Amino acid sequence: MKKMFLAALTALALCSYSYAQDDEDEYEEEDAPARVVKEAPAPAVEDEEEDEAPVVKKAEKKKAAKKSSGEGGFFGIGLDLTGVLANQAKINATFKLGDNMALTAILGFQHRGETTLEANGQEQDQGDDNTTLAIGAGFDFYPIQGAIPFSIGGEIVYNSLSENDSRLDIDILAGVHGELVKNLVLSGKAGFAIDYNFGDDGAEQNKIEYSRVDFGLAYKVYLTWFAF
């Protein structure tokens, strides 16, 4: 009877051990995927964003440098400072055709009044009044753009000096442009000039006409404000 009782206890103990071992195996299998997921590395999203940030900053810096070249606007109005010093003021209107090209309209106007002399109570008009008109166009191409842009181009200007005298100016110019303050540009140009002078003596009969071609160096200084 004792042997049977011991055999039953032994069998019961073995069954309990086997059941406990199965529960531990199942518990380990269920926990295994969770541990694998926890140890898996996260995607490096932040690294990609950090790599893209310098590229964006470089692009922004390039745009800022481009704007700081002094000609960020589309339309600018300027003054020929050399013409002012020579009492032949001209106003320029500059239109940007692209990032490296500009077209300029040139207009000048001046009227000189008639001189009147008075002697012994009598006045005499000298008939020396005249009107000077200048109209033309200029073109600039910018092969180099940077802190101080460099341009090459030219101007063609027709000048009506008086009723009977005219001049055609053809200038081939190279220049540099610097921004004094935002959108205010100072331009200095120098090059080669061809002046064709022509006219007549104003006589109704036996009119005498003349023409002459002059060659020389030319220099221009412009101050332009890019308003738009």
Whether the predicted pLDDT of 22 surpasses 90: no
In sequence order, the β-bridge partners of residue 186 are 178, 223
pLDDT, tens digit (0-9, with 9 covering 90-100), for 171-194? 999 999 999 999 999 999 999 999
Whether the predicted pLDDT of 45 surpasses 80: no
Phi, psi (rounded to 5 degrees) for 13: -65, -40
The confidence band for 71, taking pLDDT boundaries of 50, 70 and 90, is very low
Section 103-114 average pLDDT:
92
The confidence band for 60, taking pLDDT boundaries of 50, 70 and 90, is low
Whether the predicted pLDDT of 39 surpasses 70: no
Domain ranges of the chain: 2-66, 72-226
Instruction: Output the CA torsion sign for 39, 44, 45, 50.
Output: positive
Q: What confidence score (pLDDT) does residue 19 get?
A: 46
Nearest to 44 by CA among 35, 56, 52, 36: 52
Q: Exposure of 103 by Cβ count < 10 A (0-12 exposed, 13-18 middle, 19+ buried)?
A: middle
Q: In the chain, where does DSSP find H-type helix?
A: 2-39, 45-67, 81-85
Mean pLDDT of the chain: 79
Q: Exposure of 220 by Cβ count < 10 A (0-12 exposed, 13-18 middle, 19+ buried)?
A: buried
Q: What confidence score (pLDDT) does residue 125 get?
A: 84
Phi, psi (rounded to 5 degrees) for 129: -75, 145
Q: How far apart are CA 40 and CA 166, in angstroms?
A: 87
Q: How far apart are CA 94 and CA 84, in angstroms?
A: 18
Q: What confidence score (pLDDT) does residue 57 get?
A: 55
The Cβ-side half-sphere exposure at 209, using a 13 Å CA radius, reads: 3
* CA angle centred on 135, ends 138 and 81, rounded to 5°: 65
Q: How far apart are CA 222 and CA 85, in angstroms?
A: 12
Amino acid identity, residue 144?
Answer: I
Q: What confidence score (pLDDT) does residue 146 get?
A: 83
The confidence band for 220, taking pLDDT boundaries of 50, 70 and 90, is very high
Q: What confidence score (pLDDT) does residue 127 get?
A: 78
Nearest to 167 by CA among 193, 195, 191, 136: 195
Write the Ramachandran bin of 83: left for phi over 0, alpha for psi from -120 to 50, otherwise beta: alpha
Whether the predicted pLDDT of 208 surpasses 80: yes
The confidence band for 121, taking pLDDT boundaries of 50, 70 and 90, is confident
Q: How far apart are CA 134 and CA 132, in angstroms?
A: 7
Whether the predicted pLDDT of 76 surpasses 90: yes
Considering the domain 72-226 in this protein, what is its CATH number?
2.40.160
